[in-house]
Structure 1
């Protein structure tokens, strides 16, 4: 095992041992303060210039930017990962890393402290070998909730003098570069009715009945949506206030997963088209993130090829869920690839240490090859 592989495995265990549950998901949880301090001390000692970036209105939630040395004209690569985790319900010792052969278990092991450890140790190896590439680690808060960490770091990049050429996000993909990921739109639909005594329903307007017809329309239309690579479902429904009263209101949340090429605006229009004729109803967009697709050519596509060649994979992973690639794509061409395991967001989360080692070992050479090719263009 190489030095960088050994370091990545050791750092994965160190990071799993640090509680960094997102307080936006679990009120009062630890957040990212301790893990940022731990990584900042390490990266300072490794020769990086570090900066803590706090998200506005987040109660001081920190992200860490660590800039490696480089010369003017060197290609700049952002290596991105998130430091927060989901909660630990159902886990007996969530922050005690347990190793069983090449499995390391604990909260955040796969999502995504194994990926972060591989990025950090690979970046240290890059800096130690002084290749013609500048690496910038952006280790962010709040990915599991509102992405305020990446948004704050992206806003801060110009003031830090960072103009990246490409971004690599080490989310778990089984070391297969992602070719796409789906976005989402959450739409709140509300029906207004008229209350009446339930013994005289003809005097009222039953909002729950309108909701029921709408839910059936959503389920029927979902088949066509899935055929296009998206998804559609009602995930929350409620209505009425009391027995013996015709319900005067009902509402639901509709979740529309969008495929690349679809937008949140078109998803909202699609939901509105499903509202029952004659119903007093409104549909409003509550939250959304757009879909993403790997560039067909350019820096990210080239880096995906180099990385896939080194790992024996290719850009075939179509993620059914959302990750922060669209946020970074607005800054520079972006690639998603990282080590996986199992039990993400579940009580039995684990990371495959073979993948952590392979990713950490491959990345320094891949970045060197990619940078040499870019400079030769």
Structure 2
């Protein structure tokens, strides 16, 4: 039987890998691969195009369709400019809490799942159990999207997935999507004393932001009548407007960084269509009247689909049975769960720790929460044979 002390030791090792999204995760992935291979798992590692990042998929049990995925991500957010009371990459225990970067988001769940691997391996499994660990969740779920493509290509078709993001061990059956963009404006520089001879990229970017604000207001009226999210409508946030070099120079370049969190796919299509029309019919013609090479281009940083609540969800029902919960909820923050749902899996999000601790200095997961997570996984073993 796995113990909390074993989980703590594993979590300490995982926290010690400084897997900030800008850096490599290969050492942590290899560490997990070795642990799982020692249990007899069939381990596969797939690298990204740079070779500095990798996804891991380790499978115990028969190689067949169905089965369950225990999913986590390896990357963590930076600690730069954060005031930590202890070394963020050394697990520190105090007052019934385990502190460290990634303790709750989400190396705690990964540690608990890996701690259970030897017990799962000893079972006469009728269905496969997959351990999935991805890269770059914090910067656009790039690893999960690559993993999804790999699973499609290889014909690996799990039936259900538990994504262990921090939910205080509450069952989450739905969350909004997260679509992030950077819209670039190319104008024509000139002297500020002759504004008609230039194309002010910052001014056109500001008009774009104004359009985003209009759409933000319109989306409130599109909220589903039975919407369960808070707020129940799709949201838009303008994160940055960057451009200009001096008071007296017409800026030739600008960019707007923005995001939307769709509650339904139609809202995303509505926003993109409105912006396309605004740019092609209003902004770009006015810009090119002065400078033919002026223009607007939107870069897709990431389009991560939400997790849609569905009436039939074997993953939800399974975790309800494991935890004794009598219901499931929805949250506004995003995870990789929608990507797995897009593969045809039935998915829930359930993991130890609070999202309120994620990304903050002195991030922690409580020992009590880790105990609840370990108990859930212990009970899972009884469902696997």
Give the TM-score band, short-chain normalised. 0.7 to 0.9
Pairwise CA distance, 1:338:
1.1
Pairwise CA distance, 1:248:
5.2
Query: In structure 2, how many angstroms separate the alpha carbons of the residues matched to 1:82 and 1:264?
Result: 26
Quick check: 1:324 aligned with 2:336? yes
Residues 192, 207 of structure 1: 8 Å contact kept: yes
Counterparts of 1:142-153 in structure 2 under 5 Å?
142-153=136-147
Counterparts of 1:245-264 in structure 2 under 5 Å?
245-247=249-251, 250-262=254-266, 264=268
Pairwise CA distance, 1:12:
1.9
Equivalent position SS for 2:77: coil
Pairwise CA distance, 1:21:
2.3
Residues 176, 314 of structure 1: 8 Å contact kept: no
Query: In structure 2, how many angstroms separate the alpha carbons of the residues matched to 1:158 and 1:219?
Result: 38
The structure-2 alpha-carbon separation of the partners of 1:345 and 1:197, relative to structure 1 and needing over 3 Å to count, comes to same
Equivalent position SS for 2:93: strand
Equivalent position SS for 2:122: helix
Residues 262, 306 of structure 2: 8 Å contact kept: no
The match for 2:7 is 8
Query: In structure 1, how many angstroms separate the alpha carbons of the residues matched to 2:254 and 2:2?
Result: 60
**Match among 320, 330, 350 for residue 337 of structure 1:** 350
Structure 2: gaps spanning 5 or more residues: 224-232, 288-294
Query: In structure 1, how many angstroms separate the alpha carbons of the residues matched to 2:187 and 2:40?
Result: 65
The match for 1:291 is 305
The match for 1:77 is 68
Quick check: 1:87 aligned with 2:55? no
What is the CA deviation profile of residues 339-368 of structure 1, one whole-angstrom value per residue up to 9, with x for unaligned ones? 123431122211122222212221343464
Residues 89, 101 of structure 2: 8 Å contact kept: yes
Normalising by structure 2, what TM-score? Answer: 0.80
Pairwise CA distance, 1:264:
4.2
Query: In structure 1, how many angstroms separate the alpha carbons of the residues matched to 2:182 and 2:370?
Result: 41
State how many pairs are aligned.
360
Equivalent position SS for 2:265: coil
Query: In structure 1, how many angstroms separate the alpha carbons of the residues matched to 2:130 and 2:186?
Result: 52
Pairwise CA distance, 1:190:
4.8
Query: In structure 1, how many angstroms separate the alpha carbons of the residues matched to 2:35 and 2:54?
Result: 16
Residues 76, 133 of structure 1: 8 Å contact kept: yes
The structure-2 alpha-carbon separation of the partners of 1:220 and 1:315, relative to structure 1 and needing over 3 Å to count, comes to farther
The match for 1:51 is 44
Q: Which moved more, 1:321-330 or 1:154-163?
A: 154-163
Quick check: 1:37 aligned with 2:30? yes
Query: In structure 1, how many angstroms separate the alpha carbons of the residues matched to 2:137 and 2:200?
Result: 41
The match for 2:17 is 18
Residues 201, 251 of structure 2: 8 Å contact kept: yes
Structure 1: gaps spanning 5 or more residues: 373-377
Normalising by structure 1, what TM-score? Answer: 0.81
Equivalent position SS for 1:293: coil
What is the aligned-residue RMSD (CA, Å)?
Answer: 3.1
Query: In structure 2, how many angstroms separate the alpha carbons of the residues matched to 1:130 and 1:340?
Result: 31
Residues 72, 132 of structure 2: 8 Å contact kept: yes
Q: Which moved more, 1:276-285 or 1:333-342?
A: 276-285
The match for 1:244 is 248
Quick check: 1:231 aligned with 2:235? yes
Pairwise CA distance, 1:116:
0.5
